Amino acid sequence: MHTIRQMMKNNREWSERIRKENPGYLESISHSQKPEILWIGCSDARVGPDQLIGLPMGSVFVHRNVANVFATNDLNCLAVLEYAIDELKVPNIVVCGHYGCGGVNAALEHKGVNPVDLWLDQVRFVYNRYAEELNHLERSERANRLAELNVEAQVHNICRNTIIREAWKRGQQVNVIGVIYDIHDGLLKQLGIEFRSQEAWEACYGEAFSG
C-alpha cells in the first residue's frame, strides 16, 4: 500500500505544481487532444515514453503491449491505429523496441500455450523469418538483433495495414519510423526504417512483406 499512497501524494504535488507554474495549462488541453506521435512500445516498466522523449503532455498517443507488437489480427491494435489516424490525424507513428526485452527473450525459448506464449508467436514468426542470420549469433546478440528485427517487422505490419494505406492514398501525412532503446545509456537509436508513403514502403519491402 505504501506505493499507492506515494502515487496519490505525488499526483497531488504534481497537480499543485503544474497549476501554480502554468495556470490555465490543464484547462487549455482539457477540450481535445492533438498528439504528434502514436507510440507503439513494450509494456516493460523501464520504457515509458513520457520519460524517454520529454515531450509535453498531450503529444503522445500511446499503445503498449508485450514486445511492442503491432498484431494485424488484434482488435486493440487496430482500434488504436484507426482512432489515431482517422480521427486524431496523428502525423508520426513510432514503433519502439528495446534491448534486453523479456518478451523477445521469451520468444527464443521453448513455446508454451499460455497467453503470453501465444502472443509471442508473433515475435517467433520474425525469428523464423531471419533464423539463418540469427542462429549465427551468440545468445544475447541474437536476442538484441531479434529485438531490432521485431521493430522492423512491426513497422511493416503497420505500413501494409489498410488504415495506413488509405491515409496515404488520400494524401494524409503519416510518417512511420522504427527505433530501439538501450536502457544502459538511455538513448533511442533509429533503425534506418522510415516510410512516408506507400510508394516508399513498397519500393523497399512491399514485395517481401506482401501476402
Q: Is 160 a catalytic residue?
A: no
Catalytic residue (one of 63, 77, 96, 101): 101
Strands (E), 9-134: 37-42, 60-65, 92-98
Residue ranges binding Zn ion (CB under 5 A): 42, 44, 101, 103
Q: Is 2 a catalytic residue?
A: no
Catalytic residue (one of 12, 17, 19, 46): 46
3-class secondary-structure state, position 47 = coil
Catalytic residue (one of 63, 77, 98, 142): 98
Beta bridge partners of 180: 97, 189
Q: Which one, 38 or 66, has the nearer CB to Zn ion?
A: 66
Whether the Cβ atoms of residue 195 and residue 175 lie closer than 8 Å to each other:
yes
Rounded least distance, CB 185 to Zn ion, Å: 17
Q: Which one, 120 or 164, has the nearer CB to Zn ion?
A: 120
Could you give the C-alpha distances from 50 to 27, 55, 62, 204, in angstroms and in order?
20, 7, 10, 31
Rounded least distance, CB 147 to Zn ion, Å: 8
Q: Rounded CA gap, 30 and 44, in Å?
A: 28
Q: Which one, 37 or 151, has the nearer CB to Zn ion?
A: 151
* Residue 39 buriedness (CB in 10 A; 0-12 / 13-18 / 19+): buried
Q: Is 44 a catalytic residue?
A: yes
Q: Which one, 106 or 176, has the nearer CB to Zn ion?
A: 106
Rounded least distance, CB 59 to Zn ion, Å: 22
Rounded least distance, CB 81 to Zn ion, Å: 20
Q: Is 204 a catalytic residue?
A: no
State phi, psi for 195 to the nearest 5 degrees. -130, 135
Active site residues: 42, 44, 46, 98, 101
